[in-house]
Amino acid sequence: MDTRTLNTLPTSALGLGCMGMTFAYSGAETERSIATLRRALALGITLFDTADIYGPGTNEELIGPVLNEHRADVVLASKFGARSLEIDGRAPDGRPEYVHRACDASLRRLGMDHIDLYYQHRIDPRVPIEETVGAMSDLVAAGKVRHLGLSEAAPETIRRAHAVHPITAVQTEYSLWTRDVEADVLPTLRELGIGLVAYSPLGRGFLTGQITSPDDLAADDWRRNNPRFQRENFQRNRDLVDAITRMADDKGVTPAQLALAWVLAQGDDIVAIPGTTRPQRVEENIGALDVTLTGDDLARLDEIAPVGAAAGTRYPAPMMSMLNN
């Protein structure tokens, strides 16, 4: 397994996003999810990503016992702050007192004494970032957390947070159909020496080519509410994926492998965390590490999927308001 370093934190070049094992998507089975975790560990994946809202709570409860069997070899990342509007009417929540409560609750569910990389899941615009990160820094001092991160934060927020305590990584959506980060977030991270963790590098499964119709999604799959999966945008995005698939066929790889290889080719300071609940998908995704992209390949992909190529926003309007704060 190739390794990379997020600021000072070494990890596998590919991690595993665990959200779908208990949250948002349909069809996840506990035993298959556990088998997926074990296969990822066996293949050398060290970075595992979860959050307290996934379930809520049940994701940490699921993965904790499995990862604890290999705790010394695992980089466990979790997140706090993306609370439901039904809980105190706060979404998100960055209050210092909540930071401490959330971390303690995650540690109990995980059965661990520390979290390797702890993110603020969404920035709370009502709480100065200095106060939130100050509380997160207290967790580091207490030995409950090793490294700090932010998710979907604006450049100025990142700078202010980093001035309080070193930020190891910023997590954001990054893929062939979501390239917004290239404009100002990624340059800011590189200026400050902060790593980027790319979630949904396969476009929530769309870039694999396996979703051919909105009807392929179960009735309770949250992607049915995602603008990019809805009928007015679906076909335009399908045309984009068809072009990626043709290029993948030319190179003798799968569309997923091509899409992941592209993300990893954007810099050694980037780690991708594709999510899956199937061991065979982990094996396929790791194959992306053997895909070499030439300058001509990268130019062709820029033509196929330039910035802004995807039709539709990446979240419904209420969730879009929580990004880049």
- Give catalytic residue positions: 54
Helix spans in the chain (H): 30-42, 58-68, 96-110, 129-141, 155-164, 185-192, 231-251, 255-264, 279-286, 295-304, 317-320
Say whether 253 sits in a helix, a strand or coil.
Answer: coil
Q: CA 204 → CA 199, 290, 316, distances in Å?
A: 9, 22, 14
What value does the CA radius of gyration of the chain take, rounded to a whole number of Å? 19
Which residues, in sequence order, are bridge partners of residue 79? Answer: 119
Which residues, in sequence order, are bridge partners of residue 273? Answer: 199
- Enter the DSSP assignment of 122: S
Cα dihedral sign, 55-103-154-18: negative
How many Å apart are CA 136 and CA 148, to the nearest integer?
Answer: 7
